[in-house]
Amino acid sequence: MDLKDLYRDVIVDHNKNPRNFGRLDPADLHADGHNPLCGDQLNVTVNMIGDKIADIKFDGSGCAISVASASLMTEAIRGKSRAEFSALHSKVHELLTKHDSTIDPISLGKLGALSGVRAFPARVKCASLCWHTLQAALEHGDHPISTE
């Protein structure tokens, strides 16, 4: 099996069996994100211990790429600090958008599977939706969850 097949299998697996799907209740931080190109929405809830992301869940509706990316992100980010999240977010953003990126996808473990998305520019927003949503939660997601 070559790397391309492996990465495709990772995306299929994480779309079919998304990890950390649901909502934390109570949650320290949360945010809703939406992809303006398709209207799909994603919710991220986070519990912090100090500066570390102790627990994270996501839910919402989206395509296979958006669900797989969110599932992979929650696995990769648990236990990480805000600074570690920012560093990983930057790398994933580069992987998704820069064709001349020098980042080796293998160095990112399973997240490397997202490298295939850059061949499909229309899907980059799908893959980055969860990352922007988590960033919003970490920056200003400590307001109460609206029940309306």
Instruction: Enumerate binding residues for ligand FES (CB under 6 A).
Output: 35, 38, 40, 62-63, 65-66, 126, 129
Minimum CB separation of residue 47 from ligand FES in Å reads 25
Compare residues 106 and 122 and give the one whose CB is closer to ligand FES: 122
- Give min distance, CB of 41 to ligand FES, in A: 9
Nearer to ligand FES, 13 or 142 (CB): 13
How far apart, in Å, are the Cα atoms of 22 and each of 19, 25, 47, 53, 56? Answer: 9, 10, 13, 16, 9
Based on CB atoms, which residue is closest to ligand FES, 111 or 117?
117
